[in-house]
Amino acid sequence: MTAYPTLLSPLSLGFTTLKNRTIMGSMHTGLEEAPNGYDRMAAFYGERAKGGVALIVTGGIAPNEAGRVAKGGSVMDTEEEALHHRVVTEAVHKEGGKIAMQILHTGRYGYHDKIVGASNVRAPINMFKPHPLTEEEIWKTIEDFVRCSELAKLAGYDGVEIMGSEGYLINQFIAKRTNNRIDDWGGSFENRIKFPIEIIKAVRKKLGTDFIIIYRLSMLDLVEEGGNIDEVLHLAKEIEKAGATIINTGIGWHEARIPTIAMMVPRAAFTWVTAKVKGHVNIPLVTSNRINTPEVAEEVLSRGDADLVSMARPFLADSFFVEKAKAGKPEEINTCIACNQACLDHIFQGKTASCLVNPRACHETELVITQTKNVKKVAVVGAGPGGMSCAKTLAERGHSVTLFDAQSELGGQLNIARRIPGKEEFKETIRYFDTMLKKFKVNVKLNTYVSSEDLIAEGFEEVVLATGVIPRIPEIPGINGPNVLSYVDVVLKGKPVGKRAVVMGAGGIGFDVSILLTDPGHAFTTENYLKEWGIQTSIEKNGGLGSKETPTGVRDVTMLKRSNSKFGATLGKTTGWIHKTSLEDRKVNQISGVTYKAIESDGVVIEVKGETKKIPCDTVVVCAGQDPNRALLEPLQKAKIPVHLIGGADLASELDAKRAIDQGTRLAVSIG
């Protein structure tokens, strides 16, 4: 049994004792504005409290209309609204947990026409320009923070988190980048930090000593004209004096062009920032960002980087993270892989958040896994993400399940994804499903090509086809030449690629292959990540921005695509820019609007805007899409066996593990 003495040891905060050192960090879920949202939030947060989280921090709630995330966004400014939250806080308290409400004023980040800011500086990620707050409006906004805190206490919250980082309103007052005022709220650093200090002082005075006040402090802005470490330390001391209970770590603004929580960021890549503040204040410090396993959290706490660890998305992935760690079963934790596909991407698309590896997240009231009363013998063909999730959930419910795959290992297309530099975390999803398939006694048959005759002969009552996709090979003269490889050949089979390569296709797979081909092969470490993205560890100036040390010269890569649309248009909402930036930094050439004429031994002949040219290369890698693999469908249908399609076999649209796992889980819940 693995022990986590530091992670699970109690921490006294004077007025209360947390049973472990784990905080569920704030993240907007979309439930805040959804129909029946309060009951759904109660189920969501209640399950996490039951799973052992010591202190939960909610998604951001605005203190007034101007501070809303968007028109119709959550706000707490009336007693009526506060009482709606009672069902949420009671659900958490019933399970022995504590919960704080994050007060978030978006400032110039708000997506509506009533936004305000320290100055009238428009955010590069927003079309609206903020109205600069007058001094009277500043004091009114401080009163709104106090009133919101009072209402949070009325709602049953144990405390509040004042959001002072990520480039939101408070941060906008603190940074020169967004504060060009010449009154008492601008100019000197002492003037610029007056706003957060007055908020904390006023909330503490009004709410008394036994109310938790967390202040989320931007310790590393990662934007031009951002703060430095001396300013961070000064503000931390002033926030402590003002009455904060805990200081939480904020990393990067939303407009920063450096990834801070995506999969290509190494685990615990920013705890060194929090460590710089240790010893300068006497209240607990929380560290965050890409801490996703008990082992990583334990290491961070053991070396003294922080007093508490905040994890947000890991509790989307597994609500019983802490209990499993406590029981010495970390292998059963469904690990957050930081893909952003169902959490942040959904929020930025106006959808309810969920989780690629756990589609029950934020859907606890509708996607309920119960024991079946009608045990069936079910075959699942294909051990990719959809097949594994379906087989696991079917067996968890009590069905007799056999999982077939022609390959020698579980994972299907995840085995391609996990081999892409920066996407190694996908191996954790395979590990989790492997563990759970064994736990629920799924009969796994690898290296087995199963035919429709086999399935019929073995008497399966239902069959799930999770057979995935077949790479599409376009009809181009020379496509069968010895210098042409498919993405499967390159990524999965490791076939050699020459120094000059052409990648045909610019969807997600084309980008992944291009990242792989230009990767220098160095270790996936925090040190290398910080160098590649130009992060200054001294934080002496300019928000911690330094010079990039981007790897170049590994290969000369050209990406080609038929359409005239922008490269990366189909990539993830919140991660696509990272992939595009990486390829730009690595000098990858990109040509759109291409008509393929021929593939020759020394290059690809194309036509662009009526001009024919040859792109010299040694190797051509085909990433031209996929077709569904449905070879077993018709014979099974003819045999009158109920058959279901999920994942790529249902719809060959890129390599969509999110959809596959969701389909697999929902289908398993519906059978029997």
Q: Give catalytic residues, as residue numbers.
A: 168
Q: And the tokens for 47?
A: 């399950």
- Looking at the chain, how many residues does it have? 672
With beta carbons less than 8 A apart as the criterion, state whether 393 and 348 touch. Answer: no
d(CA 340, CA 346): 8
CB atoms inside a 10 Å sphere around CB 139: 13
Own/partner contacts of 86-91, CB < 8 Å, gap of 24 or more, are 86/155, 86/156, 87/38, 87/39, 87/41, 87/42, 88/38, 88/41, 88/42, 88/45, 88/58, 88/155, 88/156, 89/155, 89/156, 89/157, 89/158, 90/42, 90/156, 91/42, 91/43, 91/45, 91/46, 91/49
**Rg from Cα positions in the chain:** 26
Angle of helix 194-207 relative to helix 135-154, nearest 10 degrees, comes to 40
d(CA 118, CA 105): 12
Specify burial of residue 494 (Cβ count, 10 A radius: 0-12, 13-18, 19+).
exposed
Angle at the Cα of 146 from the Cα atoms of 142 and 147, rounded to 5 degrees: 115
d(CA 431, CA 366): 27
44: three-class secondary structure by DSSP: helix
Question: Which segments within 575-622 are labelled E, that is strand?
Answer: 589-591, 594-600, 603-608, 611-616, 619-622
Identity at 539, one-letter amino acid code: I
Dihedral sign for Cα 239, 245, 247, 248, please: negative
d(CA 168, CA 178): 10
**Residue indicated by tokens 């607990």:** 284
Dihedral sign for Cα 30, 31, 36, 38, please: negative
Q: And the tokens for 659?
A: 């959809």
d(CA 589, CA 608): 14
d(CA 347, CA 499): 41
d(CA 453, CA 451): 5
Residue 247 half-sphere exposure toward CB, CA atoms < 13 A: 30
DSSP-derived secondary structure for 614-671: EEE-SEEEE---EEE--TTHHHHHHTT--EEE-GGGT--SS--HHHHHHHHHHHHHH-
